[in-house]
């Protein structure tokens, strides 16, 4: 995937042409082919249908007409070997791309121009993940930041020198970028992609409830596949992991924006049933305008202090009575203002929350999701997180749960180092005056920090 360094290209003008299958083809000169290998059949179907519904032409066969080959999780050499076997040659007007080009194009609703950063960003993310798997937080963060900076560039990188002006690009990241610029691929990234430990860790940690530690322990016990894990008598899965394996097929697929909207209606119905004055807001990636997510995050606002404690157990009961609850992990609030501010940032906050897997009826989805026609069930299992903070903590919680994780980290760092203030999901605290700063909206928090309001969609990087 990182084997071709394509020069930046001028964007082709979309053409409105003929109709194809399900939808009108808006971009006739772009013909996409999705590589099923490693992507999986159902994800490929899902992505193909999604693209078609947005006016893209997706070919099921790898013909000579294909202009954009999109692959996910394949090592470059293997992919090229496979493409060559299929008689697909590297040509001037053909792109072999990572899925990042595809997801960006879906988000934009048009084929985005192919840029070198599509290769580089993914390369850096692979390295970040590899560092995370081996517990190297520092280098992991450095690669994530660098990938994120490249992702946020308004224009394509034209030459290597431009990278010298970019912030957050450490020596290691620069070296990778340089290598990809010069050779079209990075030997280090190739090595990681082909590394058995990385591959196994990636596979195991893709299961809900399996963190890097568990994945690593399974790896060191010689296990390499799900089947081996599930048939190993000495392994006892906890409740979360059991659900993770049981619904793996569904919850490892991305959740679409359409599905997130359908879920919002379900969550709203249950919340209002329990407390007619409560409101529901989408947080997480979907609030930032993302087209896909690994879950859907909702934050519930109850009008009176104290009401937040009862709402989640009641919503869970409501879902049970509707027979749509597949898994729930409710965590009671441990919030105590007298324990704050906390000088050490903790990833988890103290609010009442639950991690759920719910059934989403396929009829509730729109045409885009007409996938898996042969599936016997009429529902898809989807991961949903619900958060119910006390009303006076709502703004901080919303800001924290909107993410992205990197954005939050940088905002907290800015607050601490530039403004002498401690920010987390619960409070904003002024170290100089030793006072908690009140906020009823996100705008109030940005104002306290002396920053212009940053819109959720600007918080992706």
Residues that bind ligand UTP (CB under 6 A): 284-285, 290, 293-295, 297, 348-349, 400-401, 403-405, 408, 425
Shortest distance (Å) from residue 284 CB to Mg ion:
3
Distance in angstroms (rounded) separating the CA atoms of residues 26 and 299: 37
Shortest distance (Å) from residue 125 CB to ligand UTP:
13
Give Dmax (Cα) for the chain. 70
Tokens representing 361 are 């009826």
Which of ligand UTP, Mg ion, none is residue 133 near (CB under 5 to 8 Å by kind)? none
Distance in angstroms (rounded) separating the CA atoms of residues 263 and 99: 26
Shortest distance (Å) from residue 90 CB to ligand UTP:
33
Interacting stretch for Mg ion, rule CB under 5 A, among 32-40, 202-210, 278-286, 376-384?
278-286
Question: Judged by CB under 5 A, does residue 442 bind Mg ion?
Answer: no
Shortest distance (Å) from residue 293 CB to ligand UTP:
3
Task: Tell which positions 231-270 bind Mg ion, by CB under 5 A.
Answer: none
> 284: Cβ–Cβ under 8 A, 6 or more apart, which residues?
293, 295, 296, 297, 385, 401, 402, 403
Shortest distance (Å) from residue 293 CB to Mg ion:
5
Task: Please say which residue, 25 or 428, places its beta carbon nearer to ligand UTP.
Answer: 428
Shortest distance (Å) from residue 240 CB to ligand UTP:
14
Task: Please say which residue, 29 or 385, places its beta carbon nearer to ligand UTP.
Answer: 385
Which of Mg ion, ligand UTP, none is residue 403 near (CB under 5 to 8 Å by kind)? ligand UTP
Looking at residue 92, the DSSP 8-state letter turns out to be T
Indicate which residue of 122, 297, 349, 424 is catalytic: 297
- Helix orientation angle between 196-204 and 187-194, rounded to the nearest 10 degrees: 60
Instruction: Tell me the residue nearest to Mg ion as measured from the CB.
Output: 284
Interface pattern 284-303 for Mg ion (x via CB under 5 A): xx-------x-x-x------
Which of ligand UTP, Mg ion, none is residue 348 near (CB under 5 to 8 Å by kind)? ligand UTP
Indicate which residue of 385, 410, 430, 444 is catalytic: 385
Whether residue 349 lies in the annotated active site:
no
Task: Please say which residue, 190 or 297, places its beta carbon nearer to Mg ion.
Answer: 297
Task: Please say which residue, 88 or 247, places its beta carbon nearer to ligand UTP.
Answer: 247
Distance in angstroms (rounded) separating the CA atoms of residues 78 and 11: 29
- Helix orientation angle between 405-419 and 137-151, rounded to the nearest 10 degrees: 100
* Nearest C-alpha neighbor of 300 from the set 270, 328, 345: 270
Whether residue 329 lies in the annotated active site:
no
Shortest distance (Å) from residue 275 CB to ligand UTP:
22
Shortest distance (Å) from residue 258 CB to ligand UTP:
15
Which of ligand UTP, Mg ion, none is residue 389 near (CB under 5 to 8 Å by kind)? none
Shortest distance (Å) from residue 84 CB to ligand UTP:
34
Which of Mg ion, ligand UTP, none is residue 121 near (CB under 5 to 8 Å by kind)? none
Which of ligand UTP, Mg ion, none is residue 404 near (CB under 5 to 8 Å by kind)? ligand UTP
Which of Mg ion, ligand UTP, none is residue 401 near (CB under 5 to 8 Å by kind)? ligand UTP
User: Pairing relation of β-strands 325-331 and 352-361?
Assistant: antiparallel
Q: What is the CA radius of gyration of the chain?
A: 23
Alpha-carbon torsion (390, 396, 402, 403), positive or negative: negative
Task: Please say which residue, 250 or 297, places its beta carbon nearer to Mg ion.
Answer: 297
Measured in whole angstroms, how far is the alpha carbon of residue 223 from the centre of its chain?
27
Task: Please say which residue, 339 or 405, places its beta carbon nearer to ligand UTP.
Answer: 405
* Sheet containing 379-388: order of strands: 279-282, 296-301, 379-388, 352-361, 325-331
Which of ligand UTP, Mg ion, none is residue 425 near (CB under 5 to 8 Å by kind)? ligand UTP
Which of ligand UTP, Mg ion, none is residue 81 near (CB under 5 to 8 Å by kind)? none
The secondary structure element, H or E, covering residue 265 is helix 257-274
Task: Please say which residue, 132 or 297, places its beta carbon nearer to ligand UTP.
Answer: 297
DSSP string, 333-402: ----GGG---SS--SS--SEEEEEEEEEEGGGS-GGG---TT-S-SEEEEEEEEEE--GGGHHHHHHHHH
Q: From its phi and psi, is residue 416 left (phi > 0), alpha (psi between -120 and 50) or beta?
A: alpha
- Judge whether 385 and 349 are in contact, CB under 8 Å: no
Whether residue 295 lies in the annotated active site:
yes
Question: Judged by CB under 5 A, does residue 400 bind Mg ion?
Answer: no
From residue 173, give the alpha-carbon distance in Å to each of 137, 139, 141, 149, 188: 15, 10, 11, 11, 11
Tokens representing 47 are 């992505």
Instruction: Tell me the residue nearest to ligand UTP as measured from the CB.
Output: 403
- Helix orientation angle between 99-108 and 41-53, rounded to the nearest 10 degrees: 30
User: What is the set of active-site residues?
Assistant: 295, 297, 385
Residues that bind Mg ion (CB under 5 A): 284-285, 293, 295, 297
């Amino acid at each position: 995937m990182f084997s071709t360094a394509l020069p930046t290209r001028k964007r082709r003008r979309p053409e409105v042409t003929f109709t194809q299958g399900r939808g009108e083809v808006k971009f006739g000169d772009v013909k996409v082919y999705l590589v099923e290998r490693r992507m999986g059949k159902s994800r490929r179907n899902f992505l193909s249908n999604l693209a078609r519904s947005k006016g893209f032409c997706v070919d099921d066969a790898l013909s000579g007409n294909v202009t954009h080959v999109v692959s996910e999780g394949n090592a470059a050499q293997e992919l090229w070997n496979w493409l060559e076997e299929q008689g697909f040659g590297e040509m001037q007007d053909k792109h072999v791309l990572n899925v990042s080009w595809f997801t960006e194009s879906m988000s934009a609703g048009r084929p985005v121009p192919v840029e070198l950063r599509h290769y580089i960003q993914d390369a850096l993310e692979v390295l970040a993940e590899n560092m995370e798997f081996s517990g190297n937080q520092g280098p992991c963060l450095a690669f994530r930041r660098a990938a994120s900076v490249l992702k946020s560039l308004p224009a394509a990188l034209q030459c290597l020198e431009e990278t010298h002006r970019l912030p957050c690009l450490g020596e290691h990241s620069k070296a990778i970028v340089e290598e990809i610029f010069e050779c079209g691929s990075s030997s280090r990234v190739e090595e990681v992609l082909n590394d058995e430990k990385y591959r196994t860790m990636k596979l195991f940690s893709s299961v809900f409830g399996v963190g890097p530690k568990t994945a690593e322990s399974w790896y060191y016990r010689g296990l390499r596949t799900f089947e081996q894990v599930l048939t190993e008598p000495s392994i006892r899965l906890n409740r979360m992991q059991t659900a993770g394996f049981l619904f793996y097929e569904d919850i490892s697929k991305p959740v679409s924006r359409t599905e997130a909207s359908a879920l919002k209606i379900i969550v709203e119905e249950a919340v209002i049933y329990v407390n007619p004055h409560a409101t529901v807001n989408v947080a997480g990636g979907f609030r930032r305008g993302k087209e896909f997510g690994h879950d859907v995050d909702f934050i519930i606002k109850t009008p009176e202090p104290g009401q937040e404690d009862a709402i989640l157990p009641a919503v869970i009961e409501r879902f049970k009575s509707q027979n749509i609850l597949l898994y729930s992990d409710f965590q009671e609030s441990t919030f105590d203002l007298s324990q704050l501010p906390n000088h050490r940032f903790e990833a988890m906050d103290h609010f009442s929350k639950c991690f759920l897997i719910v059934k989403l009826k396929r009829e509730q989805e729109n045409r885009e999701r007409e996938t898996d026609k042969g599936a016997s069930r009429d529902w898809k299992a989807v991961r949903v997180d619900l958060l119910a903070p006390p009303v006076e903590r709502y703004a901080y919680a919303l800001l924290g749960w909107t993410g992205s994780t990197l954005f939050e980290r940088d905002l907290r760092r800015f607050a601490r180092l530039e403004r002498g203030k401690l920010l987390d999901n619960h409070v904003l605290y002024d170290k100089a005056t030793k006072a908690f700063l009140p906020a009823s909206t996100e705008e109030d928090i940005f104002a306290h920090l002396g920053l212009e309001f940053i819109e959720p969609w600007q918080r992706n990087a």
